């Protein structure tokens, strides 16, 4: 009988930024999956604790930057007894190639998972060539 595959624990990676932050909260990299279909590039990020109003997605100079902010007011008055994972904001940037149509990027956030669809420009879509 095959054994069930158990999920492995990942420690959060901290963001290494050239700029210093003005607030004491730490920023971590959300885990990302990137996959490509014929029409688009898809980026899926895990940002638990972030809701739709706290996520900021922008494209500047062909750099896609995703930021998710946590609401720390929930943690007021809580005394930590036993901690295993770190808590902080999320931020990750990706450089986009010219094959992406930057105006048509779509995003959806469900249960802390942000799915971005980056459609390819027409010329970049694969074309099948028939042999006569």
Partner 1 sequence: MLQGPIVLRPASTLPWGAAMITFADPFDALLSLQRDLESRFASDWLEGTTTSRGPFPPINVFQQGEDILALMELPGIDKNELQIQAKANTIRVSGKKRVDYSNDVSVHRRERVSGDFDRTLSLPVQVDPDRIKAEYRDGLLALFLPRADSDKPRSIKIK
Judged by the rule CB under 8 A, the positions of this chain that interact with partner 1 are: 4-10, 23-26, 31-38, 42, 44, 46-51, 72-73, 75-88, 110-113
Pick the closest to residue 107 from 27, 25, 50 (CA basis): 50
Cβ atoms of residues 70 and 88 within 8 Å: yes
In what helix (H) or strand (E) does residue 44 lie, and over which residues does it extend?
strand 40-46
Pick the closest to residue 16 from 104, 70, 92 (CA basis): 92
Closer of 58 and 75 to partner 1 (Cβ): 75
Closer of 50 and 100 to partner 1 (Cβ): 50
Q: Can you tell me the distance from the alpha carbon of 95 to that of 25, in angstroms, rounded to the nearest whole number? A: 25
Closer of 83 and 103 to partner 1 (Cβ): 83
Q: Can you tell me the distance from the alpha carbon of 102 to that of 93, in angstroms, rounded to the nearest whole number? A: 14
Closer of 3 and 132 to partner 1 (Cβ): 3
């Amino acid at each position: 009988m095959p054994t069930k595959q158990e999920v492995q624990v990942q420690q959060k990676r901290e963001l290494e930024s050239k700029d210093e932050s003005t607030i004491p909260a730490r920023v971590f990299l959300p885990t990302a999956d990137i996959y490509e279909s014929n029409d688009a590039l898809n980026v899926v990020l895990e940002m638990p604790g972030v809701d739709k109003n706290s996520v900021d997605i922008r494209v500047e100079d062909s750099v896609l930057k995703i930021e998710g902010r946590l609401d720390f007011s929930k943690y007021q008055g809580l005394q930590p007894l036993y901690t295993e994972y770190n808590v902080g904001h999320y931020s990750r940037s990706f450089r986009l190639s010219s094959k992406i149509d930057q105006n048509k990027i779509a995003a959806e956030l469900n249960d802390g998972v942000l799915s971005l669809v980056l459609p390819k420009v027409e010329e970049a879509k694969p074309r099948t060539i028939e042999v006569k």
